Chains A and B, each alone.
Chain A
């Protein structure tokens, strides 16, 4: 589904991604771990199309198509979803309206009719129930005045409604207490399916106790330096990231 080859990207004059190689197939869950500043979030943002980052070399194929050639909204409509590390507040715009606009944009892209208000509401209620999340969040303005945990849950609700084929979760576990993290993890697990690929970017191993990955990759200084199965995450938990520096040196 996703094939990244020799991806380089910089912000300003600073090169952050220095040759990423990664292949993700449908049905798989990949975890990308690594210390702060290793380029994890940059990778997530570049895949979503953030123009603050300039891709200087390499290729990203999504279903055989050139992902880097698409605008952020095209990528979204093609089924690429990024759960933001810092979900953005949009004052005065209700969550429901926002989500409906997003869903209908994707439907339009697929040549489908707009979903009307009644069907849409039914769909959203269905999803929030499935995820065990509060409906009260839906009528509030997008992320405005939400707690950290509410914001992250809201990302998962959006993901559930938009049903992406490739979901990238950027530090969705950061700043969550254990109950909130369990709820978010349950949400992610509910969305695992043979047609969908999920890439979880995280600093800590603890989310992976609940969302068990098929593959774990370790990033350091803009590259993936190790890949392995879920046991790699446990190894990191024990050893920390200190060995990375030594290995690179």
Chain B
């Protein structure tokens, strides 16, 4: 086992360094989806039989499902037979040769965010075959973590090295049949992240996909699985604050979190996919299923997200509060500018006794952006003394954008206490004038007011991330007022 493992390790890292151009021909699959494609993906990844069977089961179920239409978003029909389901890793030849070939708008954004040149190249997908410092940094982290018994690797590696963990947990939070996009992901996902924190271990650093640069090209169907054993703690950061150049239009990712007794998982996302241009052309459809299971007593799962990118965002990170005294949290800032659409929120399912959940959602709409909060709070029969507090605030910049709130409450236990507060405000002429009268220019005034609006969410983000998030927010809303 271990020899095979290290062989694969060598093979994959070599492939990352040199192998793209030579391997690429054989790594492409014709567009379209059928059982053969799935068998091929599974074979390419040298997966154990249980993985193939699981994928096929998901595929067969997907065939019986219909694309959901209840979300408050509009887009032309997606042709699922026109998508290439296996094309990773991308060919160096198809990437821009240098930053000069990259959209200058993107470069300006990088500059505003203060991203170093090398990282800019990386994010824009420039074909650089030198080994980046960050790659070696990633390896160092990985070794250090392994010493503590923490497994942090790509999903493919996990399937090879820890099949028992994958088999035990895969699909236990988001079943293969959960929804249309989750089923599709289950059938065809190619890679993603895997993290396992053993009993009693407090992971000493923020884990981030950022340190695993090679995960960037995993394509449109990512799958992440994080497991925190009894008493463990882990904080995971997803994404990066710069817009990522990506040629895939449809992204259907799945994230599953499992927290055992007394464990805590903190999952922070900064999503800044390509939002399309100012006229609303192009941009990513981000249809993601994220769910955490508070399986053990007194466990806690906390989602924090800043969504500024994508043409369409469809995303409801939720928590299944099964263990008694478990806690679910959702802190979200969603921004829509130009023609972006976001339908996002959360699901808090209270099953255990004394379970508590908190939802703080901040929607910001500018330009022609449409922003919907959709949240479900469900209190099951056995959830004695469950508590929920929801607060949804919307801020409108300009008069052509929209904010919508769709709360769903289902309470089956009369000891529950559920509170919902909602507000909509327009960024005031008088607020801006007040700032300007104190010498603060309009753009700075807007970013100050918006950041103030988002403060409750940003303080939940890890420190460095929060600073970048503020910068990103300012860039996203640039020129939207005045």
Contacts and interface: CB of A to CB of B under 8 A. Distances in A.
A234 interface: no
A33 B429 CA distance: 27
A73 B448 contact: no
A72 B455 contact: no
Interface string B436-453: 111111101000110111
A98 B437 contact: no
Contact of A93 (B433, B439, B451, B456): B451
B448 A101 contact: yes
Contacts of A191: none
Interface in A16-75: 48-50, 52, 71-73, 75
A185 interface: no
Interface stretch (A83-91, A112-120, A204-212): A83-91
B406 interface: no
A73 B436 contact: yes
B452 A91 contact: yes
B449 A90 contact: yes
A149 interface: no
A91 B453 contact: yes
A89 B435 CA distance: 11
B428 interface: yes
A92 interface: yes
B25 to A, nearest CB: 54
Contact of A87 (B434, B435, B439, B440): B434
A72 B452 contact: no
A88 B428 contact: yes
Interface residues of A, number: 33
B362 to A, nearest CB: 10
A92 B451 contact: yes
A103 B452 CA distance: 19
B454 interface: yes
A145 to B, nearest CB: 14
A188 interface: no
Interface string A79-111: 001101011111111000111011101100100
Contacts of A162: 438-439
A109 B439 contact: yes
Interface string B384-424: 00000000000000000000000000000000000000000
A148 interface: no
A77 interface: yes
B438 A90 contact: no
B430 interface: yes
A8 B456 CA distance: 45
B305 to A, nearest CB: 18
A76 B441 CA distance: 10
Interface residues of B, number: 23
A72 B433 contact: yes
A92 B454 CA distance: 8
B172 interface: no
A84 B428 CA distance: 15
Given A88-B430, A90-B431, A76 B453 contact: no
Given A88-B431, A101-B444, A106 B452 contact: no
B436 A93 contact: no
B312 to A, nearest CB: 28
A71 B441 CA distance: 9
Contacts of B441: 73, 105
Nearest to A102: B438
Given A72-B433, A101-B444, A101-B448, A92 B438 contact: no
Nearest to B452: A92
A72 B448 contact: no
Nearest to A52: B429
A98 B442 CA distance: 14
B448 A49 contact: no
Contacts of A172: none
Interface string A120-153: 0000000000000000000001000000000000
B90 to A, nearest CB: 41
Contacts of B437: 48-49, 72-73, 75-76, 81-82, 84
A88 B439 contact: no
A202 interface: no
Contact of A71 (B430, B436, B454, B456): B436
A72 B453 CA distance: 24
B454 A72 contact: no
A220 interface: no
B439 A77 contact: yes
Contact of A90 (B429, B434, B456): B434
B48 to A, nearest CB: 51
A50 B431 CA distance: 12
B226 to A, nearest CB: 31
B440 A93 contact: no
Contact of B439 (A50, A73, A84, A89): A73
A93 B434 contact: no
B448 A90 contact: yes
Given A50-B433, A101-B444, A158 B438 contact: yes
A110 B184 CA distance: 60
A81 B437 CA distance: 7
A97 to B, nearest CB: 8
Given A101-B444, A105-B438, 14 more contacts: A50-B433, A73-B436, A73-B439, A73-B440, A76-B437, A86-B430, A87-B434, A90-B434, A90-B448, A90-B449, A101-B448, A102-B438, A102-B439, A103-B439
19 contacts: A72-B436, A73-B437, A76-B436, A76-B439, A77-B439, A81-B437, A82-B437, A84-B434, A87-B434, A92-B451, A92-B455, A92-B456, A101-B444, A101-B448, A102-B440, A105-B438, A105-B441, A158-B438, A162-B439
